[in-house]
Amino acid sequence: MGTQFILIDRDAPYILPVCIQDYLPEDQMARFVVDIVDQLDLRTLFVVYADKGKRQLSSGDAVSIVILRLRNWRIFQSQAGESHL
């Protein structure tokens, strides 16, 4: 069975917004994370998750989402801790 990753085209035009890039300022953390993850060698993840039968995000996109989600969770946790002081 062939690999069927869901590709994210970050420059694809949409009805609203015209381009998803329009929502993110140039200094947004998401842009930084995507740029860093794009430089990583993720072949091992690709091999592990390829040919699982379902369409899935590419390894780089999945890693980027996890990093950003963990970052947001850590921020939430630290703010929740501060409110109890």
pLDDT confidence bin for 8, thresholds 50/70/90: confident
DSSP secondary structure letter of residue 52: S
In this structure, the number of other CB atoms found within 10 A of the CB of residue 22 comes to 11
Q: Specify the number of domains making up the chain.
A: 1
pLDDT for 60 equals: 87
Q: Does the pTM exceed 0.85?
A: no
pLDDT in tens, 22-76: 778 888 888 899 999 999 998 887 777 777 767 777 888 888 989 989 888 877 7
In DSSP terms, which residues pair with 13 in a beta bridge? 19
Query: In which domain, by residue range, is 75 found?
Result: 5-83
47 burial type by CB count under 10 A (0-12 exposed, 13-18 middle, 19+ buried): exposed
Q: Confirm if 59 and 46 have CB atoms less than 8 A apart.
A: yes
Name which residue leads in pLDDT, 8 or 15. Answer: 8
